[in-house]
Chains A and B, each alone.
Chain A
Amino acid sequence: MIRLAIALLALAALAVLPRFVSEYELGLLIGMASYVALASAWALFSGHTHYISLATVAFYGTGAYTVAVLNESLPYPAVLLCAALIGAAMALLVGLSTLRLSGIYFVIFTFGLAELVRQLITWYEVSITGTLGRYIFLDLTARDIYWQMLALAAIAIGLTAWINRTRLGLALRAIGDDEVVAAHSGIHLARTKLVAFTISATLITLVGAVGSPRWVYVEPLIVFNPTVSFLTVIMALLGGANRLWGPLVGAIPLFLLFEWLSVNFPDTYPIFLGLMFIAVVFVLPNGVLAGLDDLRAWLGRRGK
């Protein structure tokens, strides 16, 4: 109960923060909130099941593109609803056909999915509508976007907390431990994975949709930028993808680190990104939180 109260208080504090910060700092807050939402939503499915998905940008980009297509014909809440529905439908379709794959096959497929969606949209725009770039002229201030993004991040973390306590969470953990055992103990593998994947993908789609008005101009190459997928994975893994607060703990420092690098070392940023990947995988395979636990256990043993 206290934990919930603290989380809600923190959320309230974050919600009034825009009053006290400059435009640039607000931009930083939006970026942090987006990546916390992305990494948490990603971990909702991948954290427990250990299915590493690189499809983040496929959904993220779809969300942004939906806003670009519909922003002039529908009111904004309806546009968001459409984006969520499209994201969910796409996740169902993709999930049904691919969640039987596991290990490296799943990783490769999800990586290909982003490319597939990008090429499909390009093909459609080129041959059917005959345009490619689309414009988003919505009267949303940076504050509006921040609040929506913050809400999404809160929803992603809240949903994860809730799912962890339900049968679905238990089933996901069982699948992550051993799929065969899980199946034999009566867990409906396909359904469980599909539900979690769809929830996760819908949230990611909404993050793309909410963030897109800041770009004004959208084309497939801009919104399907694979770096988003990689950053999301590395952030979640850094913090610890199977922990409730892990993605947040990974996303915020990494986001700030990358911002700092792009300001101070604009030419060498990709090198740091690559090194970071390697470091996370080799040094902290289970994330910072688990690493701290190990360290504490080790110190405890030495103390005795």
Chain B
Amino acid sequence: MKITRRNTMRALASGVAMTMLIGANLAHAADDTITIGYAVAKTGPNATGAGITTIPNYELWVKDVNAAGGLTMPDGSKRMIEVIEYDDRSSNEDLVRAIERLATKDNVDLILPPWGTGSNLAIAPLMDRFGYPQLGVTAVTDKAPEFAARWKRSYWMLGGGHDYANGLAGVLKAAVAAGTLNNKIAMVSVADGFGIDLVNGARPAFEEAGLEVVYDKTYPLGTSDFAALMAEAQASGADSFVAFSYPPDSFGMTKTAQSMGYNPKVFYVGVGGAFPIYGKIADGKQEGVMSIGGVNAASPAIQDYFARHTDSAGAPPDSWASAITYASLEMLAQSVERVGLDHEKLAQELSTGTFSTIIGDVKLEDNQLRDLWWVGQWQNGTFVAVNPADKDGAVAPIVPKPNW
């Protein structure tokens, strides 16, 4: 047993040595740069979403700002951005530790949020305690008002499940009223956070809009064979097919519908439908497919943003949360220009200021971005926004969708 004790001591000593090693390789940033830290999923289940929506936009923005000489301070001087980036391995425990590290060890000036609803909630109490403003973009939650009240410096910018469901109900209701659709809906949803949120919003929204859900099934996360589900949906007699799905499912259902010749008049898929890759998945026949999100494709700012993103990341952005992510960073830059880096003033400015961004002029309401696109549709190779129909830049939806 003597041996064991000695070994334990050795292990402890090596542990201490490693801690010091971790501390030592942190070079302190010079005063004339602004350090911005973020911890996002580079590995694990969240890496796909973070790799499409979050990381490319952070990198693009930092590149844009530094190319312009840095962030402008209230006195007109410019300071370059230095980035500290960690991998949270898609684990909330690691994420929480990374935020603690950024706030107390690296002492970064600003922290950018991670990808995903769960991740943003996991860090919200910490960000609040350390006083950093949190621009939560990639979090879809109906509880946003509650969270914004609980954590005064948190901002929720992607709406909630009910919003998207109500938007879709609005599109379908209008088409039914115009006589192009019957009022029956076949609806499938993934048994996971997003699918459940959306379907819980959709059931009452559809009922209120006078639509009848004739087929309503959930499927487990990770399902890869949709033939049975789609066959039942086809047999249900509904003109509209609605799937609150994740990217792999959205892609799988599209392929299945094409191969079995299922041509509903409305074909709606969840996350992934607005990804630039969707056109390839659909074999170039994406015309008329509806999905969540959308952008004002006619806006020159958006077109310019798409071009710059393609240049920087090698692929165009997705047409849902990407532009909003970039816009949130523009808001941050403009706030810094107006009030500097003081967190309290910065939070105040973000809550009350008006900002000019690639998605137009943005002003938050109760720390939430409400001026969003709920439904989009592929038209002529672009994913355009169709709902809210009265919002500037909205395009009339094509119903019925042309056959595959």
Which residues in B have their C-beta under 8 angstroms from that of A122?
191-192, 220-221
| Bound Cα distance from A32 to B15, whole angstroms | 10
Q: In the complex the two chains form, is B196's CB within 8 Å of A131's CB?
A: yes
Q: In whole Å, how far is B119's beta carbon from the nearest beta carbon of chain A?
A: 8
Q: In the complex the two chains form, is B18's CB within 8 Å of A23's CB?
A: no
Q: In whole Å, how far is B287's beta carbon from the nearest beta carbon of chain A?
A: 33
Which single residue of chain B is at the shortest CB-CB distance from A239? Answer: B11
Query: Scoring A residues 113 to 137 as 1 if CB is less than 8 Å from chain B, else 0, what string do you get?
Result: 0000001001101110011110100
From B90-98, B313-321, B346-354, give the one contacting chain A. B90-98
B380 within 8 A of A: no
Of the residues A3, A24, A227, A267, contact of B5 by C-beta under 8 Å? A3
From A41-49, A165-173, A187-195, A251-259, give the one contacting chain B. A251-259
Q: In the complex the two chains form, is B221's CB within 8 Å of A24's CB?
A: no
A95 within 8 A of B: no
Query: Scoring B residues 78 to 120 as 1 if CB is less than 8 Å from chain A, else 0, what string do you get?
Result: 0000000111111111101110110111000000000001100
Q: In whole Å, how far is B103's beta carbon from the nearest beta carbon of chain A?
A: 7
| Bound Cα distance from A214 to B92, whole angstroms | 8
Q: In whole Å, how far is B93's beta carbon from the nearest beta carbon of chain A?
A: 7
B1 within 8 A of A: yes
Which residues in B have their C-beta under 8 angstroms from that of A269?
43, 87, 89
Q: In the complex the two chains form, is B7's CB within 8 Å of A266's CB?
A: no
Which single residue of chain B is at the shortest CB-CB distance from A243? Answer: B4
| Bound Cα distance from A225 to B41, whole angstroms | 14
Q: Interface range on chain B: under 10, 10 to 19, 20 to 34, or 35 or more?
A: 35 or more
From A83-91, A176-184, A197-205, A289-297, give the one contacting chain B. A289-297
| Bound Cα distance from A266 to B44, whole angstroms | 12
Q: In the complex the two chains form, is A126's CB within 8 Å of B96's CB?
A: no
Which single residue of chain A is at the shortest CB-CB distance from B200? Answer: A130
| Bound Cα distance from A24 to B102, whole angstroms | 8
| Bound Cα distance from A207 to B88, whole angstroms | 20
Q: In whole Å, how far is A169's beta carbon from the nearest beta carbon of chain B?
A: 15
Q: In the complex the two chains form, is B105's CB within 8 Å of A215's CB?
A: no
Which residues in B have their C-beta under 8 angstroms from that of A245?
4, 7-8
Which residues in A have their C-beta under 8 angstroms from that of B14?
253
Which single residue of chain B is at the shortest CB-CB distance from A127? Answer: B218
Q: In the complex the two chains form, is A23's CB within 8 Å of B196's CB?
A: no
| Bound Cα distance from A252 to B11, whole angstroms | 8
Q: In the complex the two chains form, is A262's CB within 8 Å of B196's CB?
A: no
| Bound Cα distance from A31 to B97, whole angstroms | 9
A174 within 8 A of B: no
Which single residue of chain A is at the shortest CB-CB distance from B196? Answer: A132
| Bound Cα distance from A63 to B386, whole angstroms | 45
B73 within 8 A of A: no
Q: In whole Å, how far is A286's beta carbon from the nearest beta carbon of chain B?
A: 13
Dominant SS at the B interface? helix
Q: How many A-B residue pairs have CB under 8 A?
A: 145
Query: Scoring B residues 1 to 44 as 1 if CB is less than 8 Å from chain A, else 0, what string do you get?
Result: 10111011001101100110110010000000000000000111
Of the residues B7, B92, B100, contact of A289 by C-beta under 8 Å? B7
Q: In the complex the two chains form, is B100's CB within 8 Å of A23's CB?
A: yes
Query: Assuming A249-B7, A269-B87, is B193 touching A132 (CB within 8 A)?
Result: yes
B125 within 8 A of A: yes
Q: In the complex the two chains form, is A260's CB within 8 Å of B21's CB?
A: yes
| Bound Cα distance from A266 to B262, whole angstroms | 44
Of the residues A249, A260, A263, A270, contact of B11 by C-beta under 8 Å? A249
Which residues in A have their C-beta under 8 angstroms from that of B193?
132-133, 219, 221
Which residues in B have their C-beta under 8 angstroms from that of A225?
44, 90-91
B237 within 8 A of A: no
A27 within 8 A of B: yes
Query: Assuming A133-B193, A252-B15, A263-B22, is B43 touching A216 (CB within 8 A)?
Result: no
Which residues in A have their C-beta under 8 angstroms from that of B307?
none
Q: In the complex the two chains form, is B3's CB within 8 Å of A293's CB?
A: yes
Which single residue of chain A is at the shortest CB-CB distance from B189? Answer: A126
Q: In the complex the two chains form, is A227's CB within 8 Å of B196's CB?
A: no
Which residues in B have their C-beta under 8 angstroms from that of A133?
117-118, 193
Q: In whole Å, how far is B3's beta carbon from the nearest beta carbon of chain A?
A: 7
Q: In the complex the two chains form, is B220's CB within 8 Å of A222's CB?
A: no
A73 within 8 A of B: no
Q: In the complex the two chains form, is A217's CB within 8 Å of B121's CB?
A: yes
Q: In the complex the two chains form, is B5's CB within 8 Å of A256's CB?
A: no
A264 within 8 A of B: yes
A61 within 8 A of B: no
Q: In the complex the two chains form, is A256's CB within 8 Å of B100's CB?
A: no
A28 within 8 A of B: yes
A185 within 8 A of B: no
A55 within 8 A of B: no
B45 within 8 A of A: yes
Q: In whole Å, how far is B9's beta carbon from the nearest beta carbon of chain A?
A: 10
| Bound Cα distance from A245 to B85, whole angstroms | 35
Which single residue of chain B is at the shortest CB-CB distance from A259? Answer: B22
Of the residues A22, A262, A289, contact of B104 by C-beta under 8 Å? A22
| Bound Cα distance from A270 to B89, whole angstroms | 9
Query: Assuming A24-B100, A27-B101, is B89 touching A256 (CB within 8 A)?
Result: no
B214 within 8 A of A: no
Chain A stretch 68-85: residues in CB contact (< 8 A) with chain B: none
Which residues in B have their C-beta under 8 angstroms from that of A214?
92-93, 96, 122
Which single residue of chain A is at the shortest CB-CB distance from B96? Answer: A214
| Bound Cα distance from A102 to B360, whole angstroms | 63
A25 within 8 A of B: yes
| Bound Cα distance from A34 to B93, whole angstroms | 11
Q: In whole Å, how far is B189's beta carbon from the nearest beta carbon of chain A?
A: 9
Which residues in A have their C-beta under 8 angstroms from that of B103?
23-24
Chain A stretch 98-118: residues in CB contact (< 8 A) with chain B: none
Which residues in A have their C-beta under 8 angstroms from that of B135?
none
* Complex A-B: 9 CB contacts under 8 Å: A24-B97, A24-B105, A25-B19, A26-B100, A28-B97, A221-B193, A257-B18, A262-B94, A292-B7
Question: Would you list the 8 A-B pairs with minimal beta carbon distance, nearest first?
Answer: A266-B87, A217-B121, A27-B97, A256-B18, A24-B101, A23-B104, A24-B100, A215-B92
- Interface positions of A (Cβ within 8 A of B): 3, 6, 22-28, 31-32, 34, 119, 122-123, 125-127, 130-133, 135, 142, 211, 214-219, 221-222, 225, 227, 239, 243-245, 248-249, 252-253, 256-257, 259-260, 262-264, 266-267, 269-270, 288-289, 292-293, 296
